[in-house]
């Protein structure tokens, strides 16, 4: 490897141009008010020496890094990837970069990870579904400016962008009900996950309005493999339709059922949640609740931007999922 670069410093440029570092700084930042010839000389020196200010030193002096953190449970999840991709693009337009981290290997460290990464930047977009409400409320103060994702109702002066899981799962259940299904099974997510809680409550509300429906809940997970693993239990449940925690689980479940010779939607209907890009290309195409992940990223940046500028968090928003009926659901046999 080539010897590590030693970048030219502002002092060198100053010496080269025969001015003080202060002047170079002013010229570089457009705050220079003196003679144009001096500015020109500084610019020429900077050019010649291939100078560009150290973001680190600037950050220290200015107290701002032009970087924001993005922390989610699992970067491998396409839903979060969609948010990240759009957040990164939005931030880039304002000259900000995004620092990423996930807590998949150590769920209990959500707070520690967020705290650590937050110190490296100006603000944080956090999705911490497993952090207890009380702990989160306390953490918000230290993490601010912060945009919280998927924690509807947690309040406490943070900007909040969430998905109405309750409504989404309700819609899915209504859809299945309308098709004629009366025995449902819910393939749950992580039991400690807040968003799983909202789904459960949504289903409970649905059940309250439909006395003729029975619902069984099966422990599931968040990944394709989790879905595949629960296929046998779903078949054993005798249900005619399964609501999966998310699209990944649904896809895994469908293929797991396929391996057991159970056809979808012939024998069992299956629904997902998220509408990841591949939901529509799955075989059969997945009926799901569509979540506007890109919009979430864009809005997250907007909030972030106003917060960093010293603005208020603004109102919480609860994105309404849109029922996306595809081929994985059909009337029961």
Partner DNA sequence: ACCTTGCGAGAAAGCGGTTTCTCGCGGCAC
Partner DNA sequence: GTGCCGCGAGAAACCGCTTTCTCGCAAGGT
Contact pick of 38, 100, 179, 318 for a copy of itself (by CB under 8 A): 100
Residue 92 structure tokens: 């880039």
CB 32 within 8 A of CB 23: yes
315 binds a copy of itself (CB under 8 A): no
Handedness of CA 36, 41, 42, 43 (dihedral sign): positive
Q: Which stretch binds DNA (CB under 7 A): 34-42, 131-139, 151-159, 302-310?
A: 34-42
Burial of 189 (0-12, 13-18, 19+ CB in 10 A): buried
CB 107 within 8 A of CB 74: no
x-marked contacts with DNA along 4-23 as a string, rule CB under 7 A: --xx-xxx------xxxxxx
Q: How far apart are CA 305 and CA 98, in angstroms?
A: 13
Burial of 218 (0-12, 13-18, 19+ CB in 10 A): middle
Q: How far apart are CA 172 and CA 36, in angstroms?
A: 67
Contact pick of 1, 33, 134, 208 for a copy of itself (by CB under 8 A): 1
Helix (H) or strand (E) holding 126: strand 123-126
> Residue for token digits 């506007």?
292
99 binds a copy of itself (CB under 8 A): yes
Phi, psi of 68 (to 5 degrees): -130, 155
How big is the chain, counted in residues? 333
212 binds DNA (CB under 7 A): no
324 binds a copy of itself (CB under 8 A): no
Binding residues among 137-156 for DNA as defined by CB under 7 A = none
Three-state SS at 297: helix
Q: Which stretch binds DNA (CB under 7 A): 57-65, 219-227, 235-243, 300-308?
A: 57-65
Nearer to DNA, 118 or 293 (CB): 118
x-marked contacts with a copy of itself along 138-167 as a string, rule CB under 8 A: ---xx-xx-----------x----------
47 binds a copy of itself (CB under 8 A): no
Q: Which residues bind a copy of itself (CB under 8 A)?
A: 1-2, 4-5, 7, 52, 54-57, 59-60, 65, 67, 74-76, 78, 81-82, 84-85, 88-89, 92, 97-102, 104-105, 117, 119-120, 141-142, 144-145, 157, 224, 251, 255, 277-278, 281-285, 307, 310-313
Residues that bind DNA (CB under 7 A): 6-7, 9-11, 18-26, 28-29, 31-35, 38, 51, 53-54, 56-58, 60-63
């Amino acid at each position: 490897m080539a010897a590590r670069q030693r970048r030219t410093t502002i002092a060198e440029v100053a010496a080269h141009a025969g001015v003080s570092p202060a002047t170079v700084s002013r010229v570089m930042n457009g705050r220079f008010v003196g003679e144009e010839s001096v500015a020109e000389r500084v610019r020429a020196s900077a050019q010649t020496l291939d100078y560009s200010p150290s973001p680190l030193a600037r950050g220290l002096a200015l107290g701002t890094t032009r970087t924001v953190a993005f922390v989610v449970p699992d970067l491998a999840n396409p839903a979060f990837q969609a948010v990240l991709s759009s957040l990164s693009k939005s931030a880039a337009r304002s000259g900000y970069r995004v620092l990423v981290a996930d807590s998949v290997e150590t769920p209990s460290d959500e707070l520690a990870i967020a705290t650590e990464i937050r110190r490296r930047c100006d603000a944080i977009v956090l999705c911490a579904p497993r952090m207890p409400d009380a702990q989160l409320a306390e953490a918000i103060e230290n993490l601010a400016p912060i945009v919280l994702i998927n924690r509807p109702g947690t309040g406490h002066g943070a900007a909040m962008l969430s998905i109405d899981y309750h409504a989404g799962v309700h819609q899915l259940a209504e859809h299945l009900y309308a098709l004629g299904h009366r025995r449902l099974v819910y393939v749950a997510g992580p039991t400690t996950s807040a968003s799983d809680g909202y789904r459960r409550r949504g289903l409970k509300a649905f059940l309250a309005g439909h006395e003729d429906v029975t619902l069984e809940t099966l422990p599931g997970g968040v990944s394709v493999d989790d879905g595949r693993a629960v296929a046998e239990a779903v078949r054993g449940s005798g249900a005619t339709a399964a609501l999966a925690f998310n699209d990944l689980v649904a896809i895994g479940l469908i293929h797991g059922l396929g391996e057991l010779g159970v056809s979808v939607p012939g024998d069992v209907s299956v629904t997902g949640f998220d509408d990841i890009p591949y939901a529509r290309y799955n075989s059969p195409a997945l009926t799901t609740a569509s979540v506007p992940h890109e919009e979430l990223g864009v809005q997250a940046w907007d909030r972030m931007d106003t917060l960093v500028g010293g603005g208020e968090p603004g109102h919480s928003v609860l994105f309404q999922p849109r029922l996306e009926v595809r081929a994985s659901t059909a009337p029961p046999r």
